[in-house]
């Protein structure tokens, strides 16, 4: 068996915590484990690390690889990076072709498709449902998983469960995100389940239905993985539900009575967290007086709230979201507006993660920028130069190995060094603890694109 992990989602409804360059699957929103890490833990209960394929986008590659490396080098070897987003149907099709071409997968073996950003428990019950899905897939069905609903949720798609086939059922129909009154009716009827976005199938069944209902995608992947990856941008932008599941006559559903959440909005985050005696979810440094049924999430600063009800407040160091509970879906509208205005807050945090570590902008002014830079043990930045700025580094923790021009030397805690304009330089951490330093940039232009890389262990060469 094989498992495909879909890890390219943007998580826009969880803005400002989740952003396009660093999405919700990598955040420790609910506990101390990123959602994608929990997804790998579930998958590894079913197959070995060498049997898991992850498809993500190029911005998330190094984040994904770092988490894969925690489990096994074999897990990190099978990461596909999409050139650009094309929704779940092309992503799954490309991953299936990878299984055929690169892993020599038997077309009659069962493959599971899991998401990277959902909460599921208990694990043992989930694994039992996977065995049921395996049997259904071996019978020639495209299998989806329905979650028994606990409330009239308008942010999820629904599956109308039809004729019983033993431990699983035929699918009568799919409904995409109904209004509140319709969702209430579905809950009352009882045979409607939330659409979890997970699947199971034999590769032969998937390809047969793909050829029948999405010949444009099928013809492209039939040319082989490498060719279809190079032409990925020509595939239609369509979800697997619209592309195949809502059209096929071979769709079965495994109804699951477990805890599940896609943690897709602040409303769903509020639902899954424990509430205090006033119905509040208070996270971080929060002072609340006469506050009821509200979510207040303080990430960097003290947030004080008084005399409000049914409110969502989410604070980060560069943006604050305030909205009424129940309006979580409208956060997407904010993102669209910010993008039209070219606001970087829609795309990235002030703290930016790189394969070697991270940096956080502390202050920006006319002709200068101040950053806090953290380099992981054993890692190094590229050999690079800047045309328009100088850099002054002050080490506040650890030891830096610095190359400036033709000289390489060490800079210790409390010491500093200076990098002139147009000078080749490199920063590395030779030690066993994170290297932390303050970087002061000065010049007529201090944006990130004033970097020319000459050598880079992560393959980011400009010339």
- Distance separating alpha carbons of residues 179 and 181, to the nearest angstrom: 6
- Distance separating alpha carbons of residues 442 and 91, to the nearest angstrom: 43
For residue 49, give both structure tokens: 């690390």
Q: Any idea which residue has 């032409």 for tokens?
A: 231
Residue 363: exposure state from Cβ atoms within 10 A (0-12, 13-18, ≥19): exposed
Element (H, E) at 76: helix 73-76
For residue 366, give both structure tokens: 């006319």
- Distance separating alpha carbons of residues 163 and 186, to the nearest angstrom: 17
Edge-to-edge strand ranges of the sheet holding 311-315: 281-283, 295-298, 311-315, 320-324
Average pLDDT value for residue range 309-326: 95
Residue 137 clears pLDDT 70, i.e. is over it: yes
For residue 293, give both structure tokens: 């049924």
Element (H, E) at 321: strand 320-324
Closest CA to 442 of 414, 420, 410, 409: 420
Cβ neighbours of residue 136 closer than 8 Å, sequence gap 6 or more: 143, 165, 167, 168, 200, 252, 254
Give the residue ranges of DSSP H helices in 214-287.
215-221, 225-230, 240, 266-272
Closest CA to 439 of 326, 378, 352, 355: 352
More confident residue, 413 or 176: 413
Residue 400 clears pLDDT 80, i.e. is over it: yes
Residue 463 clears pLDDT 50, i.e. is over it: no
334 three-class SS: helix
Cβ neighbours of residue 398 closer than 8 Å, sequence gap 6 or more: 375, 413, 429, 431, 433, 434, 435, 436
Average pLDDT value for residue range 422-435: 97
> What's 382's DSSP letter?
P
For residue 326, give both structure tokens: 């129940």
Main-chain dihedrals φ then ψ at residue 11, nearest 5 degrees: 60, 40
462 — pLDDT class (breaks 50, 70, 90):
low
Largest Cα span, the chain: 75
153 — pLDDT class (breaks 50, 70, 90):
confident
**Other residues' Cβ atoms within 10 Å of the Cβ of residue 35:** 25
Residue 35 clears pLDDT 70, i.e. is over it: yes
Percentage with pLDDT > 90 across the chain:
84
Task: List, for residues 253-272, the tens digit of each pLDDT value.
Answer: 999 999 999 998 999 999 99
Task: List, for residues 81-111, the tens digit of each pLDDT value.
Answer: 998 888 999 999 999 999 999 998 889 999 9
User: What does pLDDT average to over the chain?
Assistant: 94
pLDDT in the model for residue 184: 92
Q: Poorest-confidence range of 195-199, 324-328, 376-380, 413-417? A: 324-328
pLDDT in the model for residue 249: 94
pTM of the model: 0.90
pLDDT in the model for residue 91: 96
Cβ neighbours of residue 269 closer than 8 Å, sequence gap 6 or more: 14, 29, 30, 263, 281, 295
Q: Any idea which residue has 């028994």 for tokens?
A: 148
286-292 and 251-256: which strand pairing? unpaired
Strand residue runs (E) in 203-309: 251-256, 259-261, 281-283, 286-292, 295-298, 303-309
Beta bridge partners of 266: none
286-292 and 303-309: which strand pairing? parallel
Beta bridge partners of 394: 416, 438
Task: List, for residues 267-307, the tens digit of each pLDDT value.
Answer: 999 999 999 999 999 999 999 999 999 999 999 999 999 99
């Amino acid at each position: 068996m094989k498992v495909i992990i879909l890890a390219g989602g943007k998580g826009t409804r969880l803005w400002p915590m989740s952003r396009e360059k660093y999405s919700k699957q990598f955040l420790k929103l609910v506990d101390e484990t990123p959602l994608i890490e929990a997804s790998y833990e579930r998958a590894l209960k079913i197959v070995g690390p060498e049997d898991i394929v992850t498809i993500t986008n190029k911005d998330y590659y190094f984040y994904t690889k770092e988490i894969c490396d925690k489990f096994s080098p074999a897990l990190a070897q099978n990461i596909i990076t999409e050139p650009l987003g094309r929704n779940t149907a092309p992503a799954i099709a490309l991953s299936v072709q990878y299984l055929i071409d690169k892993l020599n997968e038997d077309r009659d073996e069962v493959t599971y498709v899991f998401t990277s950003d959902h909460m599921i428990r208990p694990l043992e019950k989930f694994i039992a449902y996977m065995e049921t899905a395996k049997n259904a897939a071996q019978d020639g069905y495209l299998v989806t998983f329905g979650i028994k609903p606990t409330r009239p949720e308008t942010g999820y798609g629904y599956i109308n469960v039809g004729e019983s086939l033993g431990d699983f059922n035929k699918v009568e129909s799919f409904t995409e995100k109904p209004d509140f009154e319709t969702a209430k009716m579905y809950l009352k009827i009882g045979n409607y389940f939330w659409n979890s976005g997970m699947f199971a199938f034999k590769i032969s069944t998937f390809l047969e239905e793909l050829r029948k209902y999405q010949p444009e995608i099928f013809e492209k992947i039939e040319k082989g993985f490498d060719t279809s990856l190079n032409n990925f941008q020509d595939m239609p932008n369509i979800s697997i539900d619209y592309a195949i599941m809502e059209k096929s006559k071979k769709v079965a559903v495994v109804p699951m009575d477990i805890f599940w959440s896609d943690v897709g909005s602040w409303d769903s985050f509020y639902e899954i967290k424990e509430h205090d005696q006033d119905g509040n979810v208070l996270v971080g440094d929060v002072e609340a007086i006469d506050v009821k049924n509200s979510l207040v999430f303080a990430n960097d600063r003290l947030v004080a709230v008084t005399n409000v009800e049914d409110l969502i407040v989410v604070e980060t160091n560069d943006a604050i979201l305030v909205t009424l509970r129940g309006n979580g879906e409208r956060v997407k509208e904010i993102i669209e507006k910010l993008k039209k205005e070219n606001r970087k807050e829609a795309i990235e945090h002030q703290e930016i993660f790189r394969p070697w570590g991270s940096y956080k902008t502390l202050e920006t002014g006319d002709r200068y920028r101040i950053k806090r830079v953290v380099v992981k043990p054993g890692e190094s930045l590229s050999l690079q130069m800047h045309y328009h700025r100088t850099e002054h580094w002050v080490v506040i923790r650890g030891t830096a190995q610095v190359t400036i021009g033709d000289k390489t030397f060490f800079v210790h805690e409390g010491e500093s060094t200076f990098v002139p304009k147009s000078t080749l330089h490199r920063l590395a951490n030779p030690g066993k603890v994170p290297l932390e330093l303050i970087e002061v940039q000065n010049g007529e232009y201090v944006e990130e694109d004033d970097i020319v890389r000459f050598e880079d262990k992560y393959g980011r060469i400009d010339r």
